Structure 1
């Protein structure tokens, strides 16, 4: 691919250089040709004035002397004839040349010399004929013809073309080097990416036949290396997707498989409670607590597996034909009312504040999903903030998002633990017994799945704040 790209760039550079060199060479040759013709035309006009004086006076000595000096200086031949075509003076012009005769005849008919029809080129004749009439107005007394040498002009044109050719090849070489460097700069990362993708694809489990067939149905255009990279990326994406789905399915299947034996174990423990002697009651209660905690962990894993699946929520609730938007005021008010008894029991206060939020403000997230996210934040606040703390739910709009914060002035967490609160199974040092460490991980997965995010921050002067940011519902979302 690199060779093809270099070839394309070099061809484009060659066409560009040729497009500049040829007009420049032609312009240079045209200019030198016109310079030679115009200078000899002016000289012929000067000789015409001298010839007119010689014809009037009948003395040609001054004219012949000027012609000799001119011939010695420029090497050009000059010829003067009268109105009848008889030679008055001739210094080197072949008078029997048909071209000379034709041009003198044209000049004696009062037709001035015209510029040559084409520019001088290497290999053209070594002379150029220029003839002008002698006399003024319609009174023509003769004609002057200069046989100008084109050798020096052609040499100048050849030198100019040589310079243009050297500069063109130099520019083309520079362009070629730049094309090689540019191709390496552009294609280097892509080639490394292609190698990495092929290596990673080879190390992953092969996707199922249906997934592979779906990926291979795509047809790409472009260079073979780009098509190969695209196909390798498709294969890798299919393998990674299937691997992640298999991992999540494994978590869900494992949790489901363990729940039944765990439920049976809980029933057996409950049935054994009346047979436990007094000295084993403490051990029995600890065992029952661990069984209940394990059940909570399994439930959390199931919810997390559903939340981290792209279509997990709908797949887990196939019969729930829920809208993809909800009224944020309605959901927040409902959750605050639902959790008010829990906060009262924990000797805490719970309030809500709507910061200039309209009543009909909608967010692009299902109401049931927002319920789960707010339940996690309110549950943690009621359980861990501590008695006497106050929790406040605030709603505000920020650009195209709605920001919901659940802040308390409770005990909070240390700065070292703050960033770890959203990690799976992590529980702060001040956390009370009974939690699984999965609540915030589930909330983060749900918020991210619906285009939002969740963060945990410290509240000043003390306490904790959970901030949920979800997209506002717009008319474009309905399309």
Structure 2
């Protein structure tokens, strides 16, 4: 955003400078040329007035020649022509001989003199960086001659070039000042916005006490930072409040359930066979209630937790959890194997993958019958890691698969019905996806797509283990 603001301001400043400086330069240059032309014509008219006294009134040519000498000393070339187009008097041009001057007067200026005699009005011509002015002598209807004056335009062109140079320096200075001002303004606006963005990112990663710095930037940005801080404070209080409720519920529910189970154990010890059977049924219900409470607490913790993703070695976690569940699988006579690529890494909250694997393996072992197989498979993908937990148990119907990720949504569940809800919450909160598919030949396959760390590409190498 800072770059865009700076570029917009720079484009605006460049446009304003071009619209202001170029017309001003053209106007000043035109004024210089007009002044130069008017001055040249005025000098030539003075020579024409002196020449009229000589040609029309037949007076002495001293005044005319004196003006021609002044023009020559000033670096001008001048000539006076009669009505026949013959040179009456002429100056020597700088760097030219008398013959050159006469030839020039006869050839070049002579044509201009004939043009003025035919159409008695002032005529101008630019030749070789010089301005040539021809003025009729005497009456404009019947002139008695033509006065021609040639003056170099080098000084005028030098002044115009210097003027353009000054304007260019002014424009460049204005552009530099505008660039510095636009960059400073863009940073003034963009820096606090980037701070708010960084604070929002950290808040999304689970740093609940983060706050955006205030007191910087425009009023709207300061108000945005204040609103963000208010939202962050309320969110922190809400999440901490939920966690406190979860802790209180955990303490308040588990303690009486444990006490009730101990009392039933004591009563069952001295009861007869029929009563002991009833106590055993009650204990099973209490155990089921305890598992249900544990599941609800796990769901509550998963829903209130805001994960801070870190790189997690998926292959190491799977090896560890499969090893931990192997005694349970042997007891139930179920084959538990993992087939995993080496070096697979995902971007997950610390401890989340362990909970996911435990819930999925527990569900698969419950569903698989004696002699069945549960496989935990994984491989690298372009997006991260693809993890599959496959069993060849009875599977789930299409309706049950659609509702399985909702709490108590699976009517076919043999347990509390919360395991897949916990898995769904933990995986999606970390930016992954989870879905249920049928296993070829019967059973259920849970497919997890786990995100990779930002800088990690697909790993190489594979291994298989059992």
Match of 1:261 among 256, 259, 273: 256
Choose the corresponding residue for 2:267, options 269, 272, 285.
272
Query: Residue 282 and residue 312 in structure 1: after superposition, are their counterparts in 2 closer, same or farther (change >3 A)?
Result: farther
Taking structure 1 as the reference length, the TM-score comes to 0.53
**1:381–1:408: 8 Å Cα contact kept in structure 2?**
yes
Q: Which residues in structure 2 correspond to 1:15-164 (within 5 Å)?
A: 15-26=13-24, 28-29=26-27, 53-55=85-87, 66-67=115-116, 69-71=118-120, 79=135, 89-90=137-138, 112=152, 116=156
Distance 1:22 1:245, change over 3 A: same
Counterpart residue number, 1:459: 438
Unaligned 5+ segments in structure 1 are: 1-5, 81-88, 93-100, 120-189, 191-210, 314-323
Deviation at 1:246, TM superposition (A): 0.6
**Unaligned stretches of 5+ in structure 2?**
45-75, 90-110, 125-132, 141-146, 161-192, 194-207, 457-466
When the two structures are superposed, what TM-score results if normalisation uses the length of structure 2? 0.55
Deviation track 1:202-242 (CA, whole Å, cap 9, x = no partner) reads xxxxxxxxx99x848x3341111211111111111111121
Residue 241 (str. 1) matches residue 232 (str. 2): no
1:420 maps to 403
Who is 2:419 aligned against?
A: 439
- In structure 2, C-alpha distance between the alignment counterparts of 1:352 and 1:239, rounded to whole Å: 44
Deviation at 1:412, TM superposition (A): 2.2
The correspondence of residues 374-393 of structure 1 with structure 2, limited to 5 A, is 374-386=357-369, 389-393=372-376
SS state at 2:86 partner: helix
Q: CA deviation at 1:383?
A: 0.9
C-alpha contact (below 8 Å) 2:437/2:447 kept by paired residues:
no
1:132-190: per-residue Cα shift (whole Å, max 9, x none)? xxxxxxxxxxxxxxxxxxxxxxxxxxxxxxxxxxxxxxxxxxxxxxxxxxxxxxxxxx9
Does structure 1 conserve the Cα–Cα contact (< 8 Å) formed by 2:387 and 2:447? yes
2:87, 2:20 → 1: CA distance?
A: 48
Kept after mapping to 2: 8 A contact 1:393/1:407: yes
Distance 1:26 1:306 in 2: 73
Q: How many residues align?
A: 336
Q: How far does the alpha carbon of each residue in 1:307-335 deviate from its partner, in whole angstroms, 9 at most, with x for none? A: 5565899xxxxxxxxxx877654543443
Q: Deviations over 1:374-396 (max 9, x none)?
A: 22111101112445643221122
Q: Render the CA deviation track for 1:309-365: whole Å, top value 9, x for unaligned.
A: 65899xxxxxxxxxx8776545434433443454455554333323xx33x666667
CA offset at residue 50 of structure 1? 5.8
Distance 1:459 1:113, change over 3 A: closer
> Which residue of structure 1 aligns with residue 380 of structure 2?
397
**1:9–1:454 distance in 2 versus 1, CA, 3 Å:** closer
Question: What displacement does 1:253 show?
Answer: 0.9
Determine the C-alpha separation between the residues in 1 that align with 2:449 and 2:12. Answer: 56
